[in-house]
Amino acid sequence: MREDVKEYYGKTLAGSEDLKTDACCTLEAPPQNIREIQKKIHPEVSGHYYGCGLIIPQEINGLRILDLGSGSGMDVYTLSAMVGKSGYIVGVDMTDEQLAIARRHREYHAEAFGYEQSNVEFHKGYLEQLDELNLEPGSFDLIVSNCVINLCQDKEAVLKHCHRLLKEGGEMYFSDVYSDRRVPESLRQDPELYGECLSGALYWNDFHNLAKNCGFADPRLVEDRPLGLNNDSVIERIGHIGFYSATYRLFKIDDLEPACEDYGQAVKYLGGIEEQEQQFTLDKHHLIEKGRLFPVCGNTYRMLNESRFAKYFEFYGSWDQHFGIFEGCGSSLPYDRVAAPNESDSGGGCC
Ligand SMILES: C[S@@+](CC[C@H](N)C(=O)[O-])C[C@H]1O[C@@H](n2cnc3c(N)ncnc32)[C@H](O)[C@@H]1O
C-alpha cells in the first residue's frame, strides 16, 4: 500500500484538481494574514497541495516545527513565513516527486519572506520510522500534519514517535480524515479509496483511544466538517460510511487525567495573541473571551498553564478540592453527525 500511495501522490495526481473527492481539500478560506502569505507561495507548490484543514495554531513565532507528510511544502512554507527568522521547520515525506517540488523552491521562499537563508529543510523518510532520521528527542515545540496519518500503515508508531520528539508542553496540531465506523479490510485494500484519504481513515473513537495509549491523554477537537464524496464510483464503494475532516490538538503534558475533572479552577484570558485579541480558541468547546472568568477542568488548566500560552492567562484556584466530573469539555460523539451519501434515513433504532 505504501508503494501505491507513493504512486498516487508522485505520478497519478498531476495536481490538486485531479482529486476525486474533497477529502484532501481545504474548503474554508484561511484567515486574512495567512491568505496574504499564501499569495507569495510558488504556484508549483500550491498546485500540489493536498491538505484537508488549516494546521496553523496560535502563537508560533520562533517555534521549531515538524511537518509530517509535508508533500510539496505548502504548509512548511506558510509556517516558514509565520515563525520568523528564529523559527525552523522540518518537513518529512516519502514521495520523491513531492519532495523534489518542495526542495526546488527553498531559496525562492527565503527571498520572498526576506530571510538571508532558508529556515526550512526537507527529509525523505517514512513517518513510521522517524527514529531513523536523526531528529533529537524532545526537540520540537509543535508537530503538524495535513491529511497524512490516515495514509500511514502503522498509526501507533507515528504517534509514539511524535510524543518522543515533542518538548514537554508542546503539541501536535493536525488535520486528518476520520470515519464514523471502522472501515472494512476489503475497502482498505482499494488503492484509489486509500490514496484519496478515505479507506485508511481511523474510526474516530479508535483514534481517541490510540492517542491516549500513545501518551496524549486528552485529545482536543478544534474543528470538523463532513466530507463530500462527490463521485459516483467512490460513493458506490464506500458511501455507506460517514467521513469527516477534523483538526485535533494533542498536548504533551505528563499525567493529564483520562477525563475532565472539576477542581473549581478558572482562567482569565488577558489578550495579546495575534488574530485572537478578543477571544482565544483552545478547541471547539473552549472559546475563551478576553477579561471574563472562564471555569475550566484540571486538564484545560494545565494545557494553558504548562504551554506557550501561560503568559496570556491568569490562573485561579488550586488542586486542593475535587468537585467531581467537569461538564463542558466536549461530548463522546465529537462530530455533528450527518447522514452518509447513500445512508437510508429510515432509522430503525429503539430511540
Ligand atoms: C494527502 S498528501 C498531503 C500532503 C501535504 N501535507 C499537503 O497538505 O499538501 C499525503 C502526503 O503524505 C505522504 N505520506 C503518506 N504516507 C507516508 C508515510 N508513511 N511516510 C511519509 N510520508 C507519507 C505522501 O507522500 C504525500 O505527500
Å from CA of 148 to ligand 1 middle: 5
pLDDT digits (tens, 9 = 90+) for 302-322: 999 999 999 999 999 999 999
Å from CA of 47 to ligand 1 middle: 15
| Mean pLDDT value of segment 107-120 | 97
- Classify residue 109 as exposed, middle or buried by CB count within 10 Å of its CB (0-12, 13-18, 19+): buried
Pocket of ligand 1 (CB under 6 A): 5, 9, 24, 49-51, 69-72, 74-75, 93-95, 98, 126-128, 146-148, 151-152, 197
Q: Please tell me the residue having the least CA distance from ligand 1 atom 26.
A: 71
Q: In this structure, are 200 and 77 located in the same domain?
A: yes
Find where cell 526546488 sits: 104
**Using an 8 Å Cβ cutoff, are 177 and 247 in contact?**
no
**Using an 8 Å Cβ cutoff, are 140 and 66 in contact?**
yes
What ligand 1 atom has the least distance to the C-alpha of 98?
27
At 10, the pLDDT band (50, 70, 90 cuts) reads confident
C-alpha cell at 334: 465529537
Residue 103 in domain = yes
Q: In this structure, are 169 and 138 located in the same domain?
A: yes
Q: In this structure, are 17 and 75 located in the same domain?
A: yes
Å from CA of 69 to ligand 1 middle: 4
Q: In this structure, are 147 and 43 located in the same domain?
A: yes
User: Is the model more confident about 221 or about 27?
Assistant: 221
What ligand 1 atom has the least distance to the C-alpha of 52?
8
pLDDT digits (tens, 9 = 90+) for 237-276: 988 899 999 999 999 999 999 999 999 999 999 999 999 9
- Split into its structural domains, the chain has a count of 2
DSSP annotation of 290 reads B
pLDDT greater than 80 at residue 332: no
Å from CA of 53 to ligand 1 middle: 14
Q: Which domain holds residue 289?
A: 265-316
The reported pLDDT for the residue numbered 81 is 97
C-alpha cell at 211: 492517542
The reported pLDDT for the residue numbered 335 is 74
Phi, psi at residue 149, to the nearest 5°?
A: -65, -30
The reported pLDDT for the residue numbered 345 is 42
CATH of the domain at 287: 3.40.5.100
Q: Over the range 251-276, which residues count as b (16 or more CB within 10 Å of their CB) and which as e? A: bbbeebeeebbbbbbebbbeeebeeb
Q: Select from 315, 329, 313 the least CA-distant residue to 273.
A: 313
The pick from 94, 130, 172, 175 for probing ligand 1's pocket by mutation, whose C-beta has the most ligand atoms within 8 angstroms, reads 94
Q: In this structure, are 191 and 236 located in the same domain?
A: yes
CATH of the domain at 22: 3.40.50.150
Considering only 7-16, 195-204, 280-289, 336-345, which range has the smallest mean pLDDT?
336-345
What ligand 1 atom has the least distance to the C-alpha of 24?
1
User: Is the model more confident about 263 or about 1?
Assistant: 263
Q: Please tell me the residue having the least CA distance from ligand 1 atom 13.
A: 69
As a whole number, the mean pLDDT across the chain is 91
What ligand 1 atom has the least distance to the C-alpha of 75?
8
pLDDT greater than 90 at residue 177: yes
> How do 120-124 and 88-93 pair as beta strands?
parallel
The reported pLDDT for the residue numbered 347 is 35
The pick from 11, 70, 151 for probing ligand 1's pocket by mutation, whose C-beta has the most ligand atoms within 8 angstroms, reads 151
Q: Please tell me the residue having the least CA distance from ligand 1 atom 8.
A: 51
Residue 229 in domain = yes
